Structures are given as structure tokens and as C-alpha cells.
Amino acid sequence: MREVYIAGAAMTRFGKFPETTNRALAQEAVQGALTDAGITAAQVDTVFYANAVAGLLTGQEMIRGQVALRYTGLLGVPLVNVENACASGASAFYLACLAVGSGAAEIAVAVGAEKLTHPDKARSFAAIGTAVDQAEFAALRARLAQGNGPDDDGKRSFFMDVYAAKARAYMAASGATAKDFAQVAVKNHRHAVANPKAQYRTEVTVEEVLASREVAPPLTLLMCSPIGDGAAALVVCSARAARRLGAGVRVRACELVSGRDAAPGAGAVERAARAAYERAGIGPGDLNVVELHDAAAPAELIEYEHLGLCGPGEGPGLLSSGRSALGGGLPVNPSGGLLSKGHPIGATGCGQLAELADQLRGRCGPRQVQGARLALAQNAGGVLGEDNAASVVTILSA
């Protein structure tokens, strides 16, 4: 496989934009990425468009990318629509890297766009909840309700029930407390203050997080990622094109795996991470900055361990040490993460990578991780039994 580089990256602001569309969001992100790379749409060889729920919320199925990108100048080349739950954006990037790495394309674009804001919030929650095996959904919901309580009015995302159950299991295994989860939210909200693209840019206190409305115990509202809209895009290119364009962010590894239900051994995140470290020829101790999938605050502590950033049960200690905060030895989610930057599902993975590309190019201003040379992004999607249905781990270097 050939070396692969990121030549351009851009994202819209993430937030709730009732009057906008997937098309408008995607167009803004694509134009920003092309401008950042210093190219025109005519120079792109192939496109991968990620979106998770437009079919369910707007009725636009089958040709989502062709519709969203209709006026960007990108049509005419191969365009592949990608849907892989919350890992859709990173999966599109994975395919763009394969296209360039294999020699099938010199320049590819990965785009993720999502509009989750809907007049009926229950519709949004229901759409998100389809990322599980629907043949077993009723049984799973009934089992989770034993610990979370019923949700007959659809006022919470089913996935917060999933994360609440995982949080309780993690508390039992590690000794983590609700206060630890609140500290994750505090850290990521503090980081987002310096991110003009973040959905929420207000600091919160541990007391405010713990006092916010209970969603599913032990999760409170401020421990959960918000519904929102947004898009992000990346221009991926070969080493030859990178030299011509002056691109300096190399893709050292991008690994996509699927979940294996309740199979013994490592879960999807751990397997993707191990494969990425091996391909990149590095270990977790070499990393300078991480963006990980904190769809709920406990997930950040759990993924510290799955990514090898600390040992089993050591997530709360890593957090309390300050090492994962800006100014620490390994800042995690300097963008604000999904908790505060936002989580417009199909755009999330590309948004993480846009943040890290900017970090490695020294473009992040007050939230810049000084001396960042090696970065990791982890994006997961869906649930299959006890595992994530899909997981992508990407390693980038300056």
C-alpha cells in the first residue's frame, strides 16, 4: 500500500440548526476542505459520503451523497454512500484511504454530514436507536429497563440506556463513581470553550453535572452527548500529490473492524487499536493527542483502557491525574469531544480527524496541544450484543 496523506480538512460548526439541510452542511464542509487543500473539485478522483439517519428523518434514501453533493462540483466521479452507524464518518475516511493507498485514486474526499435536529425529538432518538439488531431490540430494551427504568414517552436516546448499563458495570469493575463521570464532562466542556466549532462552549462544574436531570442512572443530562447537526470533510491524497500540495499530515494507520457479539477476547475497539498500533509501528505511549468516542462520559474512561492509555481499572486515576486534560501529558478530546463539541452521528468521525489534522498543523489556538506529532482518533458505532458493531481507529502523524 502507498503512503496516504491528509491534504485538507474542514468542518462546519456543530449545533442545532433547524433551518439548514444536510446538503447545506455538506457543501460548506466540502468547500472548506477543498480550499484548505488548495484544489478544485475537478481534481478529485473519488468521493465517499457518510450519513446515518437521513433516510429515517427526511425520507432521502439510496442516493444521499449524490443529493447532498449535487452542487459541489464533485459529481461525475465514483461516489460511494457509506452508512455504519456512529462510525459512518470514520468508515468513509477508511475507504478514502484504501482508494488512495491502493493506487485507485490520487485524490479522494471523505465527507460526513448529519442533521439530527427534528421538531419531534422522539423521532431523532428512534432513528438513533435503530443501530442495534432489531430482531432482538424488544428483549434488549426490556433487559436494560431493569436498571434504567422505562422510557415509554421516548424522551431519551436508547443508546443512553446502553451506556448507563456499561457505566454501572464499569463502576463495579473499576471503582469509578458518578463524580468521575462528571469530571469527564467538566474537562471536555472546558476544552470546548476554546473551540469555535463546538456545539456547547460553556464551562460546567461537577456539582452542575451531577445535579442535571437524570437520564438513566448513573447518567445525568450533562454526561450525555447532545443531538445536533454538522458536517466535516477531508481531502486524502497520495505522497506524490502531497508533495505538490504541501500536505504534511500522514495517515500512519486506519483500521476498521466489526463487532463480534459476545465472542471471547478483545472487543472491537481493542482489536482496531491493536491493529492500528501495529501498522503504525508505535504504541500508546508514543501518542501526543487523542480524540475518542465519548458519546457518554463513562465511555471516555472505558476507552482509555481499551486504547491502552492505561491499565484495566485505571481510567479514573488517569483522569484525576490531569494527564488527559489540556496541559497534561496526553490531552484527550481537546475539541470538547462528543459531549461538548457535539455528535451529529454521520459527521462525528470526520470531525475528529479534522480536529487532529489541525492539531498536527498547529492551528488550534488556545486549545493547541504543544508539540503534537502523533495523534489517534477512535470512532465507534452501533451495538451488537456486548460489542460495538463497528469501530475505527486512525493514527496520524505530522
Sheet with strand 374-384: strands edge to edge:
79-82, 46-50, 107-115, 229-238, 4-11, 249-258, 387-397, 374-384, 289-291
The angle at the Cα of 112, spanning 257 to 243, to the nearest 5 degrees, equals 85
- Alpha-carbon distance of 200 to 183, in angstroms, equals 16
Confirm whether 343 is a catalytic residue.
Answer: yes
Nearest to 195 by CA among 83, 352, 24: 352
Place of cell 484511504: 97
Residue type, 174: S
Set of cell numbers at residue 322: 490531569
Nearest to 376 by CA among 324, 327, 321: 324
Burial readout 155-192 (b: 16 or more C-beta within 10 A, e: otherwise) = ebbbbbbbbbbbbbebbeebebebebbbbbbbbbbbbb
**Choosing from 86, 224, 310, 364, which is the catalytic residue?**
86
C-alpha dihedral (290, 295, 299, 303), degrees to nearest 10: -30
Confirm whether 86 is a catalytic residue.
Answer: yes
- Alpha-carbon distance of 319 to 324, in angstroms, equals 6
Set of cell numbers at residue 142: 426490556
**Choosing from 237, 306, 343, 364, which is the catalytic residue?**
343
Residues 6+ apart with CB under 8 A from 82: 48, 49, 50, 51, 88, 91, 92, 95
Q: Compute CA 112 distance to the chain's CA centroid, rounded to the nearest angstrom.
A: 10
Q: Where in the sequence numbering do the catalytic residues fall?
A: 86, 343
